[in-house]
Amino acid sequence: MGEDAEPPWTPEQRAAIIAELRRKFPDQQLYPIQRGNLYNEWQNLADSAPMHDAHCQDPRQGWVRPNLAALVAAIRRTQVSRFYPFTGHEYLCFADGPGVWDGKGELAPAYIGRTRSEGYLVYQGEPYGGHCTLTTHDPDEAAADVERLLAGWAWSGQDAS
């Protein structure tokens, strides 16, 4: 955390911020962003996943299966939760930190895709260019495989253990 960064919010502070957002914008589902707060990033994803799944239940929404909430819950039970999550359409990807958007970080060399017919597809390689290592309908199996693929990943800001 840089010198100018504020300390991570407590769950109570986060809840108060969300309550204020709901009061000000009752017709929107907004979530607070605190750059560098890993817990908050995962919590935002966990909170918004059920709404995403509800949207995907509409057959007109195409190829994405309504299975993000189960996947996020499974990933949070693994060591993969030490990485920053981000989504892109049907993909759940990971990065070494929030700086990846500023060109100051690295994308994890594994990610998970979601489709209506196959369920979860685990890929090895940088997002959107990897090769599939597993196809499953089990979120815990997908989480375990991406954890296995990332077990030895040491990005530039981390010592290999």
Q: Could you read off the pLDDT of 20-57 as tens digits, one per residue?
A: 988 999 888 777 777 788 888 899 889 888 887 877 77
Based on the number of CB atoms within 10 Å of its own CB, is 111 exposed (0-12), middle (13-18) or buried (19 or more)?
A: buried
Please report the pLDDT score of residue 161 as a whole number: 44
Residue 155: inside a domain: no
How far apart CA 37 and CA 49 sit, in angstroms, is 19
* Residue ranges making up the domain that contains 137: 11-150
pLDDT value of residue 61:
62
Q: Would 158 be classed as within a structural domain?
A: no
Helix (H) or strand (E) holding 45: helix 38-56
Query: Would 156 be classed as within a structural domain?
Result: no
Beta bridge partners of 91: 88, 113
pLDDT at position 8 is 81
Would you place residue 120 in the very low, low, confident or very high pLDDT band (cuts 50, 70, 90)?
very high
Look at residues 18, 139, 151 and name the one whose alpha carbon lies nearest to residue 76: 139
pLDDT of residue 10: 86
Q: Quick check: is 101 in a domain?
A: yes
- How many separate domains does the chain show? 1
At 113, phi and psi to the nearest 5? Answer: -100, 160
